[in-house]
Protein backbone atom coordinates (compact mmCIF):
# COMPACT_ATOMS: atom_id res chain seq x y z
CA UNK A 1 0.00 0.00 0.00
CA UNK A 2 2.71 2.62 -0.71
CA UNK A 3 2.47 4.67 2.47
CA UNK A 4 5.19 7.10 1.48
CA UNK A 5 7.05 7.15 4.80
CA UNK A 6 9.92 9.55 5.12
CA UNK A 7 8.58 13.06 5.66
CA UNK A 8 10.08 15.71 7.89
CA UNK A 9 8.57 14.12 11.01
CA UNK A 10 9.28 10.54 11.99
CA UNK A 11 6.43 8.22 11.07
CA UNK A 12 4.60 10.87 9.01
CA UNK A 13 3.84 10.10 5.34
CA UNK A 14 5.84 12.34 3.04
CA UNK A 15 2.68 13.22 1.11
CA UNK A 16 0.62 14.11 4.18
CA UNK A 17 -1.11 17.43 4.60
CA UNK A 18 -0.30 18.22 8.21
CA UNK A 19 -3.06 18.90 10.73
CA UNK A 20 -3.35 22.65 11.12
CA UNK A 21 -1.49 23.30 7.86
CA UNK A 22 -2.74 25.86 5.36
CA UNK A 23 -4.16 23.26 2.97
CA UNK A 24 -5.99 21.16 5.58
CA UNK A 25 -9.42 22.79 5.31
CA UNK A 26 -9.51 22.72 1.51
CA UNK A 27 -8.13 19.16 1.25
CA UNK A 28 -10.56 17.55 3.69
CA UNK A 29 -13.57 19.59 2.55
CA UNK A 30 -12.93 18.76 -1.12
CA UNK A 31 -12.57 15.07 -0.27
CA UNK A 32 -15.87 15.04 1.61
CA UNK A 33 -17.68 17.09 -1.03
CA UNK A 34 -16.54 14.78 -3.82
CA UNK A 35 -17.43 11.69 -1.78
CA UNK A 36 -20.90 13.01 -0.95
CA UNK A 37 -21.47 13.64 -4.65
CA UNK A 38 -20.56 10.06 -5.51
CA UNK A 39 -22.87 8.65 -2.84
CA UNK A 40 -25.70 10.86 -4.12
CA UNK A 41 -25.19 9.68 -7.71
CA UNK A 42 -25.11 6.02 -6.64
CA UNK A 43 -28.42 6.36 -4.78
CA UNK A 44 -29.95 8.11 -7.79
CA UNK A 45 -28.84 5.30 -10.09
CA UNK A 46 -30.37 2.73 -7.75
CA UNK A 47 -33.85 4.20 -8.02
CA UNK A 48 -33.63 4.36 -11.82
CA UNK A 49 -33.83 0.56 -11.86
CA UNK A 50 -37.39 0.75 -10.54
CA UNK A 51 -39.54 0.96 -13.66
CA UNK A 52 -43.34 0.77 -13.99
CA UNK A 53 -44.34 -2.52 -15.63
CA UNK A 54 -45.52 -2.43 -19.22
CA UNK A 55 -48.76 -4.41 -19.02
CA UNK A 56 -52.25 -4.36 -20.39
CA UNK A 57 -55.28 -2.80 -18.72
CA UNK A 58 -56.32 -4.33 -15.43
CA UNK A 59 -52.98 -6.07 -14.78
CA UNK A 60 -51.02 -3.25 -13.14
CA UNK A 61 -51.51 -4.36 -9.52
CA UNK A 62 -50.50 -7.94 -10.27
CA UNK A 63 -47.47 -6.79 -12.25
CA UNK A 64 -46.37 -4.44 -9.47
CA UNK A 65 -46.55 -7.27 -6.94
CA UNK A 66 -44.53 -9.51 -9.24
CA UNK A 67 -41.74 -6.93 -9.21
CA UNK A 68 -40.97 -7.65 -5.53
CA UNK A 69 -37.37 -8.74 -6.29
CA UNK A 70 -36.66 -5.25 -7.66
CA UNK A 71 -38.00 -3.66 -4.48
CA UNK A 72 -35.97 -6.00 -2.27
CA UNK A 73 -32.79 -5.40 -4.26
CA UNK A 74 -33.33 -1.65 -4.12
CA UNK A 75 -33.98 -1.69 -0.37
CA UNK A 76 -30.89 -3.81 0.31
CA UNK A 77 -28.57 -1.65 -1.76
CA UNK A 78 -30.10 1.63 -0.56
CA UNK A 79 -29.53 0.60 3.04
CA UNK A 80 -25.97 -0.41 2.21
CA UNK A 81 -25.20 2.91 0.51
CA UNK A 82 -26.87 4.85 3.32
CA UNK A 83 -24.88 3.02 5.98
CA UNK A 84 -21.68 3.42 3.95
CA UNK A 85 -22.33 7.16 3.83
CA UNK A 86 -22.85 7.26 7.60
CA UNK A 87 -19.67 5.26 8.15
CA UNK A 88 -17.80 7.53 5.76
CA UNK A 89 -18.93 10.72 7.50
CA UNK A 90 -18.11 9.29 10.93
CA UNK A 91 -14.68 8.17 9.77
CA UNK A 92 -13.65 11.44 8.16
CA UNK A 93 -14.99 13.59 10.99
CA UNK A 94 -12.16 12.00 12.99
CA UNK A 95 -9.58 12.85 10.34
CA UNK A 96 -7.49 15.97 10.93
CA UNK A 97 -5.10 15.67 8.00
CA UNK A 98 -4.89 14.21 4.53
CA UNK A 99 -2.38 12.27 2.48
CA UNK A 100 -2.17 10.78 -0.99
CA UNK A 101 -2.56 7.28 0.44
CA UNK A 102 -5.72 8.27 2.30
CA UNK A 103 -7.14 9.82 -0.85
CA UNK A 104 -6.48 6.66 -2.86
CA UNK A 105 -8.14 4.44 -0.26
CA UNK A 106 -11.12 6.80 -0.22
CA UNK A 107 -11.33 6.49 -4.00
CA UNK A 108 -11.24 2.70 -3.63
CA UNK A 109 -14.26 2.87 -1.31
CA UNK A 110 -16.11 5.14 -3.75
CA UNK A 111 -15.28 3.08 -6.84
CA UNK A 112 -16.55 -0.14 -5.25
CA UNK A 113 -19.68 1.64 -3.97
CA UNK A 114 -20.35 2.83 -7.52
CA UNK A 115 -20.65 -0.82 -8.62
CA UNK A 116 -23.73 -1.41 -6.45
CA UNK A 117 -26.31 -0.13 -8.99
CA UNK A 118 -24.98 -2.60 -11.56
CA UNK A 119 -25.05 -5.51 -9.11
CA UNK A 120 -28.51 -4.47 -7.90
CA UNK A 121 -29.87 -4.38 -11.44
CA UNK A 122 -28.42 -7.82 -12.19
CA UNK A 123 -30.08 -9.32 -9.12
CA UNK A 124 -33.49 -7.69 -9.62
CA UNK A 125 -33.61 -8.61 -13.31
CA UNK A 126 -32.58 -12.24 -12.90
CA UNK A 127 -34.80 -12.84 -9.88
CA UNK A 128 -37.77 -11.71 -11.99
CA UNK A 129 -36.94 -13.12 -15.41
CA UNK A 130 -33.97 -15.48 -15.12
CA UNK A 131 -33.80 -19.18 -14.38
CA UNK A 132 -32.12 -20.71 -11.34
CA UNK A 133 -28.71 -20.66 -13.05
CA UNK A 134 -29.04 -16.94 -13.78
CA UNK A 135 -30.09 -16.27 -10.20
CA UNK A 136 -27.09 -18.14 -8.82
CA UNK A 137 -24.78 -16.07 -11.00
CA UNK A 138 -26.52 -12.84 -9.99
CA UNK A 139 -26.16 -13.35 -6.23
CA UNK A 140 -22.52 -14.32 -6.79
CA UNK A 141 -21.94 -11.04 -8.64
CA UNK A 142 -23.55 -9.08 -5.81
CA UNK A 143 -21.41 -10.94 -3.30
CA UNK A 144 -18.27 -10.11 -5.28
CA UNK A 145 -19.14 -6.40 -5.23
CA UNK A 146 -19.74 -6.67 -1.49
CA UNK A 147 -16.32 -8.26 -1.02
CA UNK A 148 -14.67 -5.47 -3.03
CA UNK A 149 -16.44 -2.79 -1.00
CA UNK A 150 -15.69 -4.40 2.36
CA UNK A 151 -12.09 -4.92 1.25
CA UNK A 152 -11.78 -1.24 0.38
CA UNK A 153 -13.06 -0.28 3.85
CA UNK A 154 -10.60 -2.75 5.36
CA UNK A 155 -7.76 -1.05 3.53
CA UNK A 156 -8.95 2.41 4.58
CA UNK A 157 -9.19 1.40 8.25
CA UNK A 158 -5.79 -0.28 8.07
CA UNK A 159 -4.25 2.86 6.61
CA UNK A 160 -5.74 5.10 9.28
CA UNK A 161 -4.64 2.64 11.96
CA UNK A 162 -1.05 2.92 10.73
CA UNK A 163 -1.17 6.72 10.35
CA UNK A 164 -2.67 7.94 13.59
CA UNK A 165 -0.98 11.30 12.97
CA UNK A 166 -3.71 12.03 10.41
CA UNK A 167 -6.43 11.77 13.07
CA UNK A 168 -7.65 14.19 15.70
CA UNK A 169 -5.65 13.88 18.93
CA UNK A 170 -8.73 12.74 20.88
CA UNK A 171 -9.18 9.63 18.70
CA UNK A 172 -7.98 6.54 20.60
CA UNK A 173 -4.92 4.90 19.10
CA UNK A 174 -6.59 1.51 18.88
CA UNK A 175 -9.79 2.69 17.22
CA UNK A 176 -9.06 1.99 13.57
CA UNK A 177 -7.05 -1.17 14.15
CA UNK A 178 -10.22 -2.39 15.92
CA UNK A 179 -12.46 -1.10 13.10
CA UNK A 180 -10.75 -3.48 10.71
CA UNK A 181 -12.83 -6.22 12.35
CA UNK A 182 -16.05 -4.62 11.05
CA UNK A 183 -14.75 -4.61 7.50
CA UNK A 184 -13.41 -8.15 7.84
CA UNK A 185 -16.88 -9.32 8.90
CA UNK A 186 -18.18 -7.94 5.62
CA UNK A 187 -15.50 -9.66 3.54
CA UNK A 188 -16.16 -13.05 5.16
CA UNK A 189 -19.96 -12.67 5.15
CA UNK A 190 -20.15 -11.68 1.48
CA UNK A 191 -17.86 -14.52 0.45
CA UNK A 192 -19.93 -17.07 2.37
CA UNK A 193 -23.25 -15.63 1.21
CA UNK A 194 -22.13 -15.57 -2.40
CA UNK A 195 -20.94 -19.17 -2.21
CA UNK A 196 -24.09 -20.38 -0.46
CA UNK A 197 -26.29 -18.52 -2.93
CA UNK A 198 -24.40 -19.94 -5.89
CA UNK A 199 -23.99 -23.50 -4.65
CA UNK A 200 -27.12 -24.01 -2.53
CA UNK A 201 -29.96 -21.48 -2.95
CA UNK A 202 -29.99 -17.81 -4.02
CA UNK A 203 -32.51 -16.75 -1.30
CA UNK A 204 -29.92 -17.59 1.37
CA UNK A 205 -27.60 -14.99 -0.09
CA UNK A 206 -30.38 -12.40 -0.32
CA UNK A 207 -31.15 -12.80 3.39
CA UNK A 208 -27.51 -12.26 4.34
CA UNK A 209 -27.20 -9.28 2.00
CA UNK A 210 -30.20 -7.64 3.67
CA UNK A 211 -28.92 -8.41 7.19
CA UNK A 212 -25.43 -6.97 6.70
CA UNK A 213 -26.52 -3.31 6.39
CA UNK A 214 -28.38 -3.75 9.69
CA UNK A 215 -25.13 -4.85 11.34
CA UNK A 216 -23.23 -1.90 9.89
CA UNK A 217 -26.00 0.52 10.85
CA UNK A 218 -25.86 -0.62 14.47
CA UNK A 219 -22.08 -0.09 14.49
CA UNK A 220 -21.92 3.06 12.32
CA UNK A 221 -20.16 4.94 15.12
CA UNK A 222 -17.58 2.19 15.31
CA UNK A 223 -17.08 -0.68 17.70
CA UNK A 224 -15.89 1.79 20.31
CA UNK A 225 -19.20 3.65 20.11
CA UNK A 226 -21.19 0.41 20.26
CA UNK A 227 -19.20 -0.71 23.29
CA UNK A 228 -19.95 2.58 25.08
CA UNK A 229 -23.68 2.26 24.36
CA UNK A 230 -23.74 -1.32 25.67
CA UNK A 231 -21.91 -0.35 28.84
CA UNK A 232 -24.16 2.68 29.33
CA UNK A 233 -27.30 0.58 29.10
CA UNK A 234 -25.93 -2.10 31.40
C-alpha dist (Å) from residue 178 to 23, 119, 142, 223 = 29, 29, 26, 7
**CB proximity list for 121: less than 8 A, separation 6 or greater:** 49, 73
Distances (CA, A) of 95 to 32, 55, 83: 11, 52, 19
List helix spans (H) across the chain. 24-48, 60-66, 68-93, 100-113, 116-129, 132-162, 175-199, 202-218, 223-233
Residue 98, helix vs strand vs coil:
strand
Residues of the chain with pLDDT under 50: 1-12, 14-22, 24-26, 230
Determine the pLDDT at residue 231.
53
What is the pLDDT, as a whole number, of residue 21?
46
Q: Which of 147, 143, 125 is nearest to 135 (CA)?
A: 125
Query: What pLDDT was estimated at residue 227?
Result: 54
What pLDDT was estimated at residue 25?
A: 44
Q: If DSSP codes are grouped into helix, strand and coil, which group holds residue 200?
A: coil
pLDDT computed for residue 215 by the predictor: 86
Look at residue 134 and give its three-state secondary structure. helix
The pLDDT of residue 225 is: 53
Contact 208, 80 (CB under 8 A): no
Amino acid sequence: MGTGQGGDDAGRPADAVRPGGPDLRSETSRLLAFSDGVFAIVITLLVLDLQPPDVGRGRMLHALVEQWPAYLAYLTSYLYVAVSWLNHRTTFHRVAGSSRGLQWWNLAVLSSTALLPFATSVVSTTMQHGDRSDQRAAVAVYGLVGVLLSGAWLGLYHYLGRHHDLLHPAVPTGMYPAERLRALVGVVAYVLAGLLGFLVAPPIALIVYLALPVFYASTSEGLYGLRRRVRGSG
